[in-house]
């Protein structure tokens, strides 16, 4: 009588293992599908970026960007200088009004 109980217990364990394996296989399939979609999306984004940059030399663009940043710093410095000069003139005008 113990033999059928042992066989049933072994079958229960085997069924649990099969269910776990099936669940794991399904999860792996879902992950593969998700990763495949992500890869396709990233491939499309890469192609779009390549299309936007087509014919443009990235090092040249980086140099232009650096030049624009330097120009921006120069403009900001000039703006500060002009603001300082205006402030100085306003103070002189206020003294004249007093």
Residue 64: CB atoms within 10 Å: 12
Kindly report, residue by residue over 76-97, the tens digit of the pLDDT. 999 999 999 999 999 988 888 8
The burial of 81, by beta-carbon neighbours within 10 Å (0-12 exposed, 13-18 middle, 19 or more buried), is given as exposed
pTM: 0.46
For the chain, the domains span 1-55, 57-98
Q: Can you tell me the distance from the alpha carbon of 29 to that of 23, in angstroms, rounded to the nearest whole number? A: 10
Residue that has been written with the tokens 């990233």 in this structure: 42
Kindly report, residue by residue over 23-53, the tens digit of the pLDDT. 999 999 999 999 999 999 999 999 998 888 7
Residue that has been written with the tokens 């394996």 in this structure: 21
């Amino acid at each position: 009588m113990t033999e059928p109980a042992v066989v049933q217990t072994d079958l229960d364990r085997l069924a649990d293992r099969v269910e776990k394996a099936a669940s794991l296989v399904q999860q792996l399939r879902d992950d593969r599908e998700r990763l495949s979609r992500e890869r396709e999306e990233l491939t499309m984004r890469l192609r779009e970026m390549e299309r936007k940059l087509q014919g443009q030399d990235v090092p040249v663009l980086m140099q232009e960007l650096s030049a624009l940043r330097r120009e921006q710093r120069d403009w900001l410095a000039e703006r500060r200088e002009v603001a300082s000069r205006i402030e100085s003139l306003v103070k002189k005008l206020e003294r004249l009004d007093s």
